[in-house]
A = this chain, B = another copy of it.
């Protein structure tokens, strides 16, 4: 971002719509950014598009340009829709060679995922109120179970053995855990750590140790520790117990999908892949996938992508604009429910939902 002339702030984003409904929700997010630019005097967003994804793979034999990371380096942020088209390319190629490649390559070691219920009608659990669901996950995002290390011994034979190794470094684990403590400091001073140290006797015992070590610098933060199986139960039975939650890459993945259900569905689930030091650009992509089954029907829910843009604005220091977005989504979920897409019980198209949000923001 650079400030020029008066106090004009310019943000240059790389945009990767990706596959499936990624290509449908990204333009809606851009419409929202366009309006914010129009409404504000001193901010300018510009974009460069990258056609990377499964179709690109079919043509070029790779998911992104060979020097793709280098091309992305100069941007203030990366907006990504969704990746994956299992009928064309196996998921472990699509995802590992684009999404996970960027997360790890740009050391986006924090995946931040808010789980907020905006209207109790959205919650599939009996008797839960809006205030019962308001948490945020800090998911480790650059190593752990996703390190991609492994091998096959005597492939294809009856003796075949396959290994998959999770890698946890002290450096990264400390950074993630400290980030979570600091976030807890700014919120309710309450932090939950999720492991599975009763079974994963190296990685998770280590995580628990780091969690407790780091805690010594935050004596005023109340902490809890759960095994991932128990946590998945407690999140459903008592989401009100949780505020900031920190978890490994895999456990964060599973639990945030669970969280998306509690907040009303994956259509509300926003996410930010952050490199907090800003050595590399951060990436903003919703939790949902490419949903090829509804591609082209015009009913993809744009809310998660637009909420994700809200997280981008927060990270870029544009908290006021970010709040405008969240306020419009809140109004959609409460007063404007028929403008929701069908997955959330509304009647609107992708476009129609965004129209509603734009109209609210404009007021």
Instruction: List residues of chain A with CB under 8 Å of any chain B CB.
Output: 84, 90-92, 94-96, 100, 124-126, 145-146, 148, 150-152, 157-171, 196-206, 227-230, 232-233, 236-237, 249-250, 253-254, 256-258, 260-261, 265-266, 289
- Can you list the 7 inter-chain pairs with the closest CB atoms, starting with the nearest? A150-B202, A164-B203, A91-B198, A160-B170, A229-B257, A95-B198, A162-B206
Bound-state CA distance A124–B157 (Å) is 46
Q: In whole angstroms, what is the CA distance A92 to B202 when docked?
A: 9
Q: How far is the CB of A232 from chain B (nearest CB, A)?
A: 5
A205: chain B residues at CB < 8 Å are: 90, 92
Question: A146 vs B124: C-alpha distance in the bound complex, in angstroms?
Answer: 33
Write 27 A-B pairs (CB below 8 A) sorted by A numbering: A92-B201, A95-B199, A96-B199, A96-B201, A126-B126, A146-B200, A150-B201, A157-B170, A159-B170, A160-B169, A160-B206, A162-B170, A163-B166, A164-B200, A164-B201, A200-B250, A228-B253, A229-B254, A230-B257, A230-B289, A232-B257, A233-B257, A233-B258, A233-B261, A236-B236, A237-B261, A254-B254
A162 and B168 within 8 A (CB): yes
Which residues of B lie under 8 Å from residue A229 when comparing CB positions? 253-254, 256-257
A157 to B232, CA, bound (A): 33
Q: Is the beta-carbon distance between B160 and A94 smaller than 8 angstroms?
A: no
Number of copies: 2
Residues B84 and A198 in contact, CB atoms below 8 Å apart: yes
Cβ–Cβ contact A202 & B160, under 8 A: no
Most buried by B among A146, A171, A229, A260: A229
Q: Are A164 and B161 in contact (CB under 8 A)?
A: no
Decide: A164 and B166 in contact? CB cutoff 8 A.
yes
Scoring A157, A199, A227 by chain B CB atoms within 10 A of each residue's CB, the highest score goes to A199
Q: A92-B201, A150-B202, A233-B258 are in contact. List 15 more A-B contacts (CB 8 A).
A: A91-B198, A95-B199, A124-B125, A126-B126, A146-B199, A148-B201, A152-B202, A159-B169, A160-B206, A161-B170, A164-B202, A196-B250, A199-B249, A200-B250, A233-B260
Shortest A288–chain B CB gap in Å is 10
**A230: which B residues are within 8 A, CB to CB?**
257, 289
Q: How far is the CA of A84 from the CA of B196 in the complex (A)?
A: 13
